[in-house]
Amino acid sequence: MRRPKEIEPEFDFNSQNFLDEERVADRHAMHRSLARWILAFIAVFCFAALAFWWSGSAVRYSADRVQQRTKPTYQVSGVITDSRSHQPVPWAEVSTEFQFGGAFFSTTTDQDGKYLLNTLPEPHDLVVKANGYQTKRFHVGKQWFSWTPGGSEIYNAELTPSN
């Protein structure tokens, strides 16, 4: 019986010298460093672009607010009900009241006591009035309205009948 020949491992006789190995290692290190610098530059560029966009939006919003030509971009909706009977209060007036004056928005509830009011996203009070009921105030809006100048909020209110 014959034994199969053992296969000898192949050797790469074209081995690199020390300087060639260092050049390859330096090239890989340079590529990693270049990739890091590119990512850092992109991150800084995106942050600067975001900062310029936000500051421009804040300045535009403030200028519009001072000139009283802001557009309502925030919706407040809900149902106005009687606190005793829990029945809807039809035709109640829902209006805005801003701390520093300015824009005024108003709507009335429908026969089911539902309302939808387009207003500004900044923090302010809504005033609900109806015949035979005490006036009710509640706070709506967002503190960081310059970051997100839109959105919506649901607020249901109960009015107390006048005695």
What pLDDT tens digit does each residue of the chain (163 aa) get? 566 666 666 655 566 677 888 888 899 999 999 999 999 999 999 999 999 988 887 787 777 767 777 778 889 999 999 999 999 999 999 999 887 766 689 999 999 999 999 988 888 899 999 999 999 999 988 776 556 667 889 999 999 998 7
Number of domains in the chain: 2
Quick one: 87 and 153 in the same domain? yes
94 shares a domain with 24: no
CA distance to 16, 23, 36, 54, 158, per residue, from 73 (Å): 68, 60, 41, 17, 26
Q: What is the per-residue pLDDT for 102?
A: 60
**18 & 56 share domain:** yes
Give the containing element (helix H, strand E) for 157: strand 157-159
Whether residues 97 and 32 fall in one domain? no
Buried b (16+ CB within 10 A) or exposed e, 139-154: ebbbeebbeebeeebe
Question: β-strand 74-82 against 151-154: which pairing, if any?
Answer: parallel
Full domain range(s) for residue 102? 74-159
Considering the domain architecture, whether residues 92 and 50 belong to the same structural domain is answered as no
For strands 74-82 and 114-119, give the pairing: antiparallel
Per-residue CA distances from 108 to 3, 18, 67, 91, 139 (Å): 101, 85, 27, 5, 18
**Does residue 7 sit within a domain?**
no
User: Are residues 53 and 87 part of one domain?
Assistant: no
